[in-house]
Amino acid sequence: TVPQVKQHLSYMSSDETSNDKNQLGMPVELLNSIENGSLFPHIIDLKTGSPIMVIRNVHHAAGVCEGTRLIANSF
């Protein structure tokens, strides 16, 4: 049998803060439902062949830095 290759993968945003002082007192469902052009969606679906742009420095020595453009070849 040939192994199945995933065609897409979904990522969800974090629903927690690292410090209780940073809690806003708003329900998580409300925050996750906000759709604004300046915020990333709560769930991001990546598909094979999708372009991806790195938004922070991940591995500078390997060249995976802010602004690097990549293509999702497989998951």
3-class secondary-structure state, position 19: coil
| Interior/surface letters 13-46, b for 16+ CB within 10 angstroms, e for the rest | eeeeeeeeeeeeeeeeeeeeeeeeeeeeebeeeb
Q: Which residue has the higher pLDDT, 44 or 5?
A: 44
pLDDT band for position 51 (cuts 50, 70, 90): very high
C-alpha to C-alpha distances, 68 to 10, 40, 60, nearest whole angstrom: 21, 18, 10
Q: Does residue 41 surpass a pLDDT of 90?
A: no
> Does the pTM exceed 0.75?
no
Among 27, 31, 72, CA closest to 48: 72
Q: Does residue 25 surpass a pLDDT of 70?
A: yes
